[in-house]
Amino acid sequence: MSNDVLVLAEIRDGAPKKISFEMLGEGQRIADQLGGRAHAVALGHGIGDVAATLAQYGAQKVFLADDPSLEDYTAEGYTNVLANLIKQTEPALVLLGATTTGKDLAPRLAARLAVGLASDCTGFTLQDGELLVTRPIYAGKAIATVKEEVRPYMATIRPNIFSAPEPDTSREATVENIPADAGQIRAKVVEMIKEAGDRIELTEADIVVSGGRGLKAPENFALVEELAGVLGAAVGASRAVVDAGWKDHSYQVGQTGKVVTPTLYIACGISGAIQHLAGMKTSRYIVAVNKDPEAPIFKVADYGIVGDLFKVVPVLVEEFGKMKAEA
């Protein structure tokens, strides 16, 4: 059993996603305390280039599984390859992103290895050689400290919580090609339906602009989209407007939607039901625009504007537009 931390780098369109760097930063911090090193593993096809990038973000060793059978992510194929690597290298801790891939893969991999898994983690502490993990429960209404009892410890990490280290171009990693046999894959990806346009993913966004019932009609969502557009933000929605069919469920922020932790969250016409607050309360700055001064959203807002959003939001668009032009 080593004291190393193994990070599963998530590759999209040939490059590691930001969460991979966030995991390497935190993985290195934990490895330092354990007296081990942080390594990365990447799976895919034609991904040789990612090793250099992962090295710049701190990976000491990069394990590469490069094979056509791994081009599309599949839970079974990735589990087969990773389970072998983990059995062989015996890391102390395995980190995956709490992304749609990591959330799908980690439970299967943990079950294959018969180890525990802490989901969607936001903090790690070592105490007398044992790993204590903090993770929000009840969509963030409470925080649990979880003790992992079986090695290797495994955890998925919530995006946007840990900061990525500054890349150091002088760093190099040992690259090791590992057996890349996906084995039996029963559940296969037959098609990828991409959304029109480059939609910014809510859980990864630095700024989120959300709209609620205060928008009065689905076509008025254009206002929220315009504000998001000028800020380069992701668009979110309250449960009320998703249930009303104005927006697809993938836009929903809250307890039965997505939990987001952006630097800035702007809530337009959202009253702030307990389920919604649970999904956005850990944002660094919160701005609320609502005409009801009693709306619960104002209790969590850093800057609240009591007023008609149809008057307020266009001014925000204009002001942010000006600032952008000046910058």
Partner 1 sequence: MHVVICVKQVPDTETKIRVKDGQVDHSETKYVVNPYDEYAVEEGLRIKERLGEGKITLASTGPERAKDALKSGLAVGADEAIHLVDEAFEGSDPYATALILSKALQKIDYDIVFCGKQGVDEDHAQVGIILAELLDIPHVSVVTLLEISDDQKSILAHREVEGGHEVIEAPLPAVITAQKGLNEPRYASIKGIMAVKKKVIPEWNAEEIGVDAEAVGTRAAKIAFAEVTLPPERAGGRVFDEDPVQDAIKVAHLLRDEAKIL
Closest CA to 118 of 87, 149, 139, 140: 149
**Contact set for partner 1, span 97-116 (CB under 8 A):** 99-101, 103-104, 106-108, 110-112, 114-116
Using CB under 8 A, which of 27, 77, 136, 269 touches partner 1?
Answer: 136
DSSP conformational letter for 294: T
Q: In the complex with partner 1, which residue's Cβ is closer, 171 or 213?
A: 213
For residue 194, give both structure tokens.
């991409």
Q: State yes or no: residue 247 binds partner 1 (CB under 8 A).
A: no
Using CB under 8 A, which of 219, 293, 294, 325 touches partner 1?
Answer: 293
**Contact set for partner 1, span 24-53 (CB under 8 A):** none
CB of 193 to partner 1, least distance (A): 4
Using CB under 8 A, which of 126, 189, 222, 244 touches partner 1?
Answer: 189
Closest CA to 210 of 160, 141, 279, 256: 279
Cα–Cα distance between 34 and 119 in angstroms, integer?
A: 21
Q: State yes or no: residue 306 binds partner 1 (CB under 8 A).
A: yes
Number of residues that bind partner 1 (CB under 8 A): 92
Q: State yes or no: residue 1 binds partner 1 (CB under 8 A).
A: no
User: Which residues contact residue 250 at a Cβ distance below 8 angstroms, ignoring those fewer than 6 apart?
Assistant: 202
Query: What is the gyration radius of the CA atoms in the chain, in angstroms?
Result: 21
Give the N- to C-terminal CA distance of the chain in Å, as an integer.
52
**Contact set for partner 1, span 257-276 (CB under 8 A):** 257, 263-264, 274-275
Q: State yes or no: residue 160 binds partner 1 (CB under 8 A).
A: no
Using CB under 8 A, which of 87, 88, 141, 168 touches partner 1?
Answer: 141
CB of 209 to partner 1, least distance (A): 12
User: Which residues contact residue 290 at a Cβ distance below 8 angstroms, ignoring those fewer than 6 apart?
Assistant: 214, 267, 269, 270, 271, 297, 298, 304, 305, 306, 309
Q: State yes or no: residue 96 binds partner 1 (CB under 8 A).
A: no
- In 10 A of CB 198, how many CB atoms? 6
Using CB under 8 A, which of 139, 223, 235, 240 touches partner 1?
Answer: 139
Q: In the complex with partner 1, which residue's Cβ is closer, 31 or 154?
A: 154
Identity of the amino acid at 81: V
Q: State yes or no: residue 227 binds partner 1 (CB under 8 A).
A: no
Q: In the complex with partner 1, which residue's Cβ is closer, 83 or 175?
A: 83
Q: State yes or no: residue 193 binds partner 1 (CB under 8 A).
A: yes
Identity of the amino acid at 51: A
Q: State yes or no: residue 66 binds partner 1 (CB under 8 A).
A: no
Closest CA to 158 of 277, 258, 248, 58: 258
Using CB under 8 A, which of 163, 168, 199, 216 touches partner 1?
Answer: 199
- Tell me which stretch binds partner 1 (CB under 8 A): 21-29, 58-66, 168-176, 252-260: 252-260
User: Which residues contact residue 152 at a Cβ distance below 8 angstroms, ignoring those fewer than 6 apart?
Assistant: 1, 6, 86, 90, 91, 92, 93, 94, 113, 115
Q: State yes or no: residue 126 binds partner 1 (CB under 8 A).
A: no
